[in-house]
Structure 1
Amino acid sequence: MDSELNITYITLGGHVEMDKYRYLYFLMMFTVYFLIICSNSTIVYLIWIHQILHEPMYIFIAALLLNSLLISTAIYPKLLIDFLSEKQLISYSACLFQCFLYYSLNSSEFLLLAAMSYDRYVSICKPLQYQTIMKKTTVRIFLALAWFVPACQVALPVSLSANTKLCNFTLKGIFCNNSIYKLHCVSSRALTVYSVIVFFNVSILPVLFIIFTYTKIFIVTYQSRREVRMKAAQTCLPHLLVLISFSFLFTYDVVIVKLELELPKTIHFIMTLQVILYHPLFNPIIYGLKMKEIYNHIRRLFCQRKLHQHIKK
C-alpha cells in the first residue's frame, strides 16, 4: 500500500526463477506476441482490403482475430515489463481493469463463435433466405452484442470489487484473473452466484447454441449430395476446431484458479503460460490454412512480396 498516494499495489507472485531466466522469458514471450500481432493483423488486413471477403463469414473471422489481438494486448505488454523488472507489481485498480478486459474479451469470443455458427446454419440450411437474414445490419448487431453484452455483465462484479477490503496483497499468478477475488478479506456469496450466472450466460449458453446449430447442419448435409457435404466441411471444420480449442483453454483457466493452492508453483506457472500462448496463434493458423479464400489471398500476398524483392535486385 502506498500511503502517500493512497494506491494499493498487488504483487504478482506466480513468476518462477525470474533472476535466472528473465531474459529468456522476455525473448520467448516477445517473439510470441510479435507472431500474434503479425499473423492476426495480416488476415484482418486481407479481409478488410478485398471486397470479395466482405461477407458475414469473413467479417466474423476478422472480428474473432481482432478479439485475439485485444486479449493479447491486455496481457502481453504488462507481462513483458514484469520480466525485466526487479519487482512484479501492479496497482489494484489496474489489476481489476486487466481482469475485466481478460474475461469480457474471452466471453466475446464465445458469442462471436455463436454468431459464426448461426451464419453457417443459415447459409447451409436456409440458402434461399441467406441474403435476407444475414444483412449488413444483422452482422453489425451481432458484432455489437458480442462485445457489449459480456462487457456489461463482467463490469458489475469488477466494479463491486473496487472498494472491497483486501487482506492479501500477493496474487498467485502472472496476470490478473479470477484469483483476484481470493485477495478479499471476506468472500461474497452473492458475487460468487452472480459470477456463475455470468459464466452460464456468456459461455455455456453460446456453446449449447453452437451445438444445436451444428447438429442441424450435420442433419441437413448428411441428407444432401457429396459436394454439399464437402463445402460444409470446408467452412464448418475450422470453426469447430477453434471452438474446441478455446473451450478447452477457457475451462483450463478456470481449473488453474481452483487448483492454484494444490499445485507446485512451477507447474502453475507453466499451465498459466499455456492459456495465453496457444489460442491467439491457433486462430490465424486454422483460418489461414483451412479457409480456401483466405489462404489464396495470403499466398498471393507473399508471392507479390517475393516478386517485388526479386525486381529490386
Structure 2
Amino acid sequence: MRNRADRLLVLGYHNVESTWFWPNRPGAGIATFARQMRVLHRIANVVPLEDALDALAAGHPLPPRAVALTFDDGYRDNLELAAPVLRGYGMPATIYLVPGFLAGEQHAWWERLGWAVRRARGRRLRLAGHELLLGDDGNVAALRAVEALVKRMTHDERMKAVEQLVEDLRPRGEYRADELFLDWDDARGLAPAGMTVGSHTLAHAILGRETAADQRVDLRESRRLLQRELGAEVATLAYPNGTRADYDDATFAAAREAGYSHALTAWGGAVPAGASPYEITRTMVSTSTGAARFAAKILKQLA
C-alpha cells in the first residue's frame, strides 16, 4: 500500500444502534462499531477533520492513510456509545447537528415515518400519485419507496406529506422517536467527549430543493445558533442527504457567505489535495457492515 500523504478519507456515519428507520438487533450496532474502530486504529491514522482539510488546502502533508470520522444528524448514541469507544483509541470525530432537532422543534422525518410504517394499522399509502401497499417483509420496500418520493419535495412539502402519511397509517402506540436524538444540554457534552460540532442545516432541509434565499438564511442561522448555544466555532457543514442532486451553486455561495470553511457530501471517495472546499467527498458507512468487509472497503479507498 502506498503511504499517500496528499489525500484524506472521510467516513460518514449516522446512528450506531437500532432505530425505527434503521432496525438492527439490540446491541449489535455498538458491538460492530467497536470492531470497526479496532480495525481502523490498526490500519489507518485517524485525524481531526478540520485540521486535515486545512492542511490539504495549504499543501501540507497528512499522516499516511489519513482518515477523518464524521456523524450526521445528532443521534444520542453517537455521544453515549460511539464517543467512549473513540476516546479509548484517542480518535477524534466531527458530529453534524440540526438545531431544530436539538430544540425539539422539528421531527427527524425519516424516523417518524419509520415508526409509523412499522407500527401501522393502515395498510395502504397514497403519495404524489403513487399507491403503496404495506406487505409482510417488515415494510422495508414500502418505507424505501416513500423515502425516495419525499426526498424530491421541498422541506415544507416533505414535512406535510409525512404527517399525512402518519395520519393515514394510524400507527399503534406513542411516538417517542425524537428521544433518539441529542438535545441542547446533551450537545454541550460533545466537546468534552472529544467531538467537534458542525452544521447539518436548521431542520435537515435538502438544500438543493430550496430557493437560494432560503438556503442563505438556513446556513447562516444554523451556524449562528450552534455557535451561540454551544460556545464553539462551527467551521464545517454537511449537506443533508448529500448526493450530487442535493446541492447546487447557490448552496456553495450560501455556505461561503455563512462563513463555513468546508462542506461535505455523502458520496465519493478519498479527498485529494486541491479539492473544492464546498464539495468534500465522503464514504458513508454503517454499523450493519461487518469488520472484515469494513476493513476491505477502507483499504480499497486508501490504496
TM over 0.5, shorter chain: no
Larger radius of gyration: 1
- The TM-score, its normalising length taken from structure 1, stands at 0.26
Greater helix content: 1
Greater strand content: 2
